[in-house]
Structure 1
């Protein structure tokens, strides 16, 4: 069901903050209040209250009395680490108007092995600065994708001693740079690949090391990645297999799970998967867990392994709202108001989401080629135009 995908090296950047995508030898499976506006570096910048407004103050809806630990003001990163922002910043006025709703949404920046150990601390601090815009209370979203080797390489290669030392050094420096910053941290997209590594104990132990380091930070909530409803699918062990992997990765140090990072599952499916995982851990004595569903890519959700085109990692884009068939478009905008009727979820899903889900976030990157690199303007325009949630 699962198809491998190759990621390409990005050219080394002269911009300190440029967070590129993973190297080529890896194969992809990645309240009714006004928005606060401040001025920094001679540019008007904004922060988006979760589930209430977009970054530039366009009202979405009343967030209500959200119980999510992530409720509050969310920072919106604006800088060269985001290929979408860089393209938007250089676009014409008419193109900017076309993309405004999209670019205003908080998106979780990816950081991984392509950032050298010696640079990760500085780049993390700069990423935080360009996300918070002077507000130390604004939530920062980031995705840690540091395992090396990973994907196809990890199926035949065990991390060397040198790679293990580098991984731990990178994680320590990253965690120190985050410090007491309010952070939602997604740890290791496509972690289901652990099922195929030659030394499960060693590879899972590295992710557990990271979960423990980040989990010890005072204001960071750690969400371990666990594929999604279709990965591991019921035929691959389903929830039981997901729980086995998550336990090995250090769920006791984390705050919950994040699903659907690189797939297109309908939100309903992954809300159910999160609920089942949380209940399974509760039965094992681990309580208080919640989940995040990546909704960047599932506005017209379908099963990754059943995609009817040549490359599910670069699935065709929907051309209009409500289009039938297997095509990708932007889903529910980032919010902690997970049970709001506007999302069109059935009553059972809304009840489960209210109990078990902290937020819907845009962690995946369908606007990039093969969800990796480079940014694709035409593709993004279609993603925006076809989203049933555009303008919300």
Structure 2
């Protein structure tokens, strides 16, 4: 620990240098939050993600073995590459197993917002309808597991309180629409739990911008996504999220999100917006493209990019921002005028919910994934 503290005291560009004791036992400087100039777009004046700043994680739950601590210890080009990831706002994943204790969420919020700045946005992913992992989706949830989920949501909500947060609710919710031998045995139960969470946050956390997950542009059709979202409580949320566990191109997700908004309106649910995960979409591709080349295994872990491999690999997309119609973003993403108008009106933000520096997008941290994902991003000029 002494060596770790000494490392933390090194001057870090863009970070505060006073070490602070944090809930996970680390004493690391808190990176400067991401700031944006200007106000919400006229076409999306109610955007809850516009304005203020976005908090950046300082290695909470890493305990000295993760992206941020690796960045602090790095030098030269590797420090530059790791900084592209470590100094961006990204989501802390709350699972029913890692945050069931009532103290976990308030501990994190105090860590990344120690001054209780009301304008600082904290990004969270709430992932709880798979308590035994997605591999056990064939086994229905027990009554005790369902009750535990509702208690957990109540505790997460109490921890959030009046804080300004972005909540990506139940990534991979789209799995509950699967049919056949790969399907979930109790889809309506899990969708009902997501609906419970959506309504509970709506009723108790007035500054929480909640987005139900709707898969990605290469997954559900707009009609399927709209049906899933309606059953899962979209009426109680700001909108939905796209691209969290897939690698689809941002432009494709913008078009797909617009089609879902229209499909929801046809079902009597209007005015919804969406966020798009861009953490790992730098070399965007579909599941079908991956499967045609490599088969159906290994998709979640994605192959590392190399100088010679420019497709079907793991690379950072554009940095998080609510200024989705900035000319630099429009140009580098190749957005058409129509897609730009859609983004300005319906896309609340590009956000980082996936973690391309982790094995299987989940755990543990892998330097061997983090470095090439940042080095071979086609959007280096935006960092």
2:48 aligned residue: 69
SS at match of 2:222: helix
What is the CA-CA distance between 1:184 and the residue it aligns to?
Answer: 0.3
Which blocks of at least 5 consecutive residues in structure 2 are unaligned? 1-13, 21-26, 178-182
What is the CA-CA distance between 1:275 and the residue it aligns to?
Answer: 0.9
Structure 2 distance, partners of 1:202, 1:145, is: 15
Cα deviation code 1:330-377 (max 9, x no counterpart): 001000111122122222221111111000001011111111211111
Are the aligned partners of 1:197 and 1:203 in contact in 2 as well (CA < 8 Å)?
Answer: no
Pairing 1:349–2:339 present: yes
Structure 2 distance, partners of 1:243, 1:228, is: 12
Are the aligned partners of 1:149 and 1:158 in contact in 2 as well (CA < 8 Å)?
Answer: no
SS at match of 1:314: coil
Q: 366-375 vs 283-292, which deviates more?
A: 283-292
Structure 1 distance, partners of 2:156, 2:375, is: 37
User: Against the structure 1 CA distance between its residues 304 and 285, is the aligned structure 2 distance closer, same or farther, given a 3 Å change threshold?
Assistant: same
Which blocks of at least 5 consecutive residues in structure 1 are unaligned? 1-34, 53-61, 233-237
Query: Relative contact order: is structure 1 or structure 2 higher (C-alpha 8 Å, sep ≥ 6)?
Result: 1
Question: In angstroms, what is the RMSD of aligned CA positions?
Answer: 2.2
Structure 1 distance, partners of 2:326, 2:309, is: 23
Pairing 1:146–2:128 present: yes
2:261 aligned residue: 278
Q: 145-154 vs 161-170, which deviates more?
A: 145-154
2:198 aligned residue: 211
User: Against the structure 1 CA distance between its residues 64 and 125, is the aligned structure 2 distance closer, same or farther, given a 3 Å change threshold?
Assistant: closer
1:365 aligned residue: 355
User: Against the structure 1 CA distance between its residues 391 and 240, is the aligned structure 2 distance closer, same or farther, given a 3 Å change threshold?
Assistant: same
Mapping of 1:59-98 within 5 angstroms? 65-66=40-41, 67=45, 68-72=47-51, 73-82=53-62, 83-89=66-72, 91-94=73-76, 95-98=78-81
SS at match of 1:111: strand
1:235 aligned residue: none
2:3 aligned residue: none
1:173 to 128, 148, 155: 155
Mapping of 1:89-128 within 5 angstroms? 89=72, 91-94=73-76, 95-115=78-98, 117=100, 119=101, 121-128=102-109
Pairing 1:339–2:325 present: yes
2:119 aligned residue: 137
Pairing 1:254–2:237 present: yes
1:294 aligned residue: 277
Are the aligned partners of 2:31 and 2:57 in contact in 1 as well (CA < 8 Å)?
Answer: no
Cα deviation code 1:85-108 (max 9, x no counterpart): 24334x234443442222110001
User: Against the structure 1 CA distance between its residues 346 and 317, is the aligned structure 2 distance closer, same or farther, given a 3 Å change threshold?
Assistant: farther
1:48 aligned residue: 33
Number of residue pairs the alignment of both structures matches: 338
How high is the TM-score relative to the length of structure 1?
A: 0.80
Are the aligned partners of 1:77 and 1:132 in contact in 2 as well (CA < 8 Å)?
Answer: no
1:231 aligned residue: 219
Structure 2 distance, partners of 1:387, 1:97, is: 13
